[in-house]
Amino acid sequence: MNVIEASALGKRYGSAWALRDFSLAIPAGHVAALVGPNGAGKSTLLNLAVGLAAPSAGGITVLGGLPAGSPEALDGIAFVAQDTPVYRNLSAADMLHLTRSLNRRFEVSYARARLNELGISLTRKAGRLSGGQQAQLALTLALARRPRLLVLDEPVAMLDPVARHDFMATVLAAMADDGVSVVLSSHVLAELERVADYLILLSRGRVQMAGGVDDLLAGHRVVTGPAAGAGNFAERPVVHASRAEAQAHLLIRAAADDPVPPGWEAHPVSLEELVLAYLREPGAAALPGPARPQEVTR
């Protein structure tokens, strides 16, 4: 089952297309990370998936084929937006009551127990909570709906490292305990490397790369060697190349056992290296066939 599936999807704001002829399938059972530069279409895609926006072209379904934004779909999706929205003048207890009133399914006992474990007083106004506590309150409200899909749009961008770690630990626990699928948008690559097992990289409103993290990492290598020999990789699928006077550093699409020329060394690639390489080369595609290297002198 795919938790999000888009076909020829387009979204236009005025004369500008945020997404155009966009197709994607995200399978269930993953923490899927959505990454890309600002303006790539990440928030637009998530807003379309949760029914906060309507497509200008094409279609998008969720949870195995339900129309995005339909009552059936909304029952199975919980969304935490970028600023982890809470009503600052309402207490945590008021937020639980409001959310319960607006949703057909909401486990108040679960939410109360979880806030108690976090040391968040039900009587305290949301505006007086720390940033990390506000994020945890918003996440608790989402999880108490017992969703099948949890959608998070930059949920940890404003949090300190400890609060960010605790927030993502809760997300992983929900996935492990309740089988929740997760799709999250984030710029924090170090955090994604720790939690994500599926990656979608967007660029200019299109999918540049998508797949299981382990498969993507296994299909790429970093090779270093003499700059004069960089031409040995002219026929290789080079994603990104940088070259100093004496040494070249290339990220290529290759398996771990693919041979390299004499004088060159191959190393595994990290998720951060992989994402940064594709972000620097928005024309590169993680598909069979060579990508044109673009050298950067440093």
pLDDT of amino acid 289: 34
pLDDT of amino acid 294: 37
DSSP 275: H
pLDDT of amino acid 52: 94
pLDDT of amino acid 233: 67
**Rounded-to-integer distance, Cα 156 and Cα 269, Å:** 25
Of 142, 25, 144, give the one whose Cα is nearest residue 80: 142
**Tokens representing 56?**
């200008």
Residue by residue, pLDDT tens for the chain (298 residues) are 999 999 999 999 999 999 999 999 999 999 999 999 888 899 999 999 999 999 999 999 999 999 999 999 999 999 998 776 788 899 999 999 999 999 989 999 999 999 999 999 999 999 999 988 998 999 999 999 999 999 999 887 778 888 888 888 988 988 888 889 999 998 888 778 888 999 999 988 889 899 999 999 999 999 888 887 777 666 668 888 887 778 888 898 887 788 888 888 889 999 999 999 998 877 665 543 333 333 333 3
The ranges of the chain annotated as CATH 3.40.50.300 are 2-214
**Rounded-to-integer distance, Cα 32 and Cα 257, Å:** 28
Contacts 24+ apart (CB under 8 A), 56-59: 56/10, 56/11, 56/12, 56/17, 57/8, 57/9, 57/10, 57/11, 57/12, 57/20, 57/21, 58/6, 58/7, 58/8, 58/9, 58/10, 58/21, 58/22, 59/6, 59/7, 59/8, 59/9
What pTM did the predictor assign? 0.86
Q: Angle 59-36-73 (CA atoms, 0-180°, nearest 5)?
A: 35
pLDDT of amino acid 84: 66
pLDDT of amino acid 38: 86
- Return the CATH fold of 2-214: Rossmann fold (3.40.50)
